[in-house]
Structure 1
């Protein structure tokens, strides 16, 4: 951009423009004054864009942006989360303290009651002769002295394991005249299993009745 007429050294000499120190002071001042004038002219030519102030006023009065509230968690949703957490913790505790494998053992034989053989004949209360032996029957409802109704022999004072009793067996009378229809299903110390007439013991302990089909 031009800043006015160019002043060279010749013009300065012709016009006597040098000061006493030999510097050209007049040319510098004129250039500065011309530059200031041109800046003022340029500033005056700057125009405000049309509608600028209206847009500023509109933006200043615009409503504030709406704040969207986040949805609140419902109580039942929180309860479900808590319940699930408790279930997970309980499952973990159970896994840590879970019992070992359970072994099912077969049930043992039912308990028995001890009964003692009793012989009403005084002379047969000692010794183990055949004449003093007492019979264990195979069938409590058959004739006691029948040939085929013998399961084994016992003697006075023998301890037997009574499993159960029937109360409607064949009636038996002993040598003293005592009668009974009770028969005990017993096992002897030698493993002999049979039926002992009630008159051949003086049992004072309760023995369970035999279930149907075990007679």
Structure 2
């Protein structure tokens, strides 16, 4: 005896709905875990850092430095070793940056040392940038040194 007309289509539709519901549930759970991890201030694992890495363009507020194509020391800017410590010569890595340099950032830290640019615009937000030529492989750039405002996970420190 043959199944009633439309029974095969109904079974296929039910399987399709069940598979779709499972895909939606798994995707929602993955997104919720990623958002919770990024906003908790907890440690950020290496895989999420790799996925979150973005380019930042260095901005120098001094017009005379923005128009230069050469890298004169007077127009260079420093990157901090630790964003929580005072931003001074004792807390700056050897690597220098200039206007229009492109750095790779993997997370953002709020509540660091407050830094102001030459016009008085200040911030306590810092980007962790990757560098091959400094101990530990990274340094910290204050947000006043870029006009970019990427969405990044919070750094664990």
CA offsets, 1:78-105, max 9 Å, x none? xxxxxxxxxxxxxxxxxxxxxxxxxxxx
Normalization by structure 2: what TM-score? Answer: 0.61
Secondary structure, counterpart of 1:110 in structure 2: helix
The within-5 A match list for 1:138-177 is 138-145=81-88, 147-151=89-93, 152-177=95-120
Where does residue 142 of structure 2 map in the other structure?
197
Secondary structure, counterpart of 1:148 in structure 2: helix
CA distance in 2, matches of 1:108, 1:170: 26
CA distance in 2, matches of 1:168, 1:124: 29
Where does residue 5 of structure 2 map in the other structure?
none
Greater gyration radius: 1
Structure 1 pair 142/123, CA: closer, same or farther in 2 (3 Å)?
A: same
CA offsets, 1:157-215, max 9 Å, x none? 01100010111001001011111000000024x5542000111011132121112xxx3
Report the alpha carbon displacement of residue 108 of structure 1 after superposing the two structures with TM.
8.8
Runs of 4+ with deviation above 4 angstroms = 106-109
Structure 1 pair 156/109, CA: closer, same or farther in 2 (3 Å)?
A: same
CA distance in 2, matches of 1:160, 1:120: 17
Structure 1 pair 142/107, CA: closer, same or farther in 2 (3 Å)?
A: closer
CA distance in 1, matches of 2:133, 2:147: 22
CA distance in 1, matches of 2:83, 2:47: 28
Q: Give the aligned length.
A: 105
CA distance in 1, matches of 2:129, 2:76: 16
Normalization by structure 1: what TM-score? Answer: 0.45
Equivalent of residue 153 in structure 2, options 170, 195, 208: 208
Comparing both chains, which one has the higher relative contact order based on Cα–Cα distances under 8 Å and sequence gaps of 6 or more?
Answer: 2
Where does residue 117 of structure 1 map in the other structure?
58
Do residues 185 (structure 1) and 125 (structure 2) align? no
CA distance in 1, matches of 2:120, 2:48: 40
Where does residue 41 of structure 2 map in the other structure?
none
The gaps in structure 2 that reach 5 residues or longer are 1-45
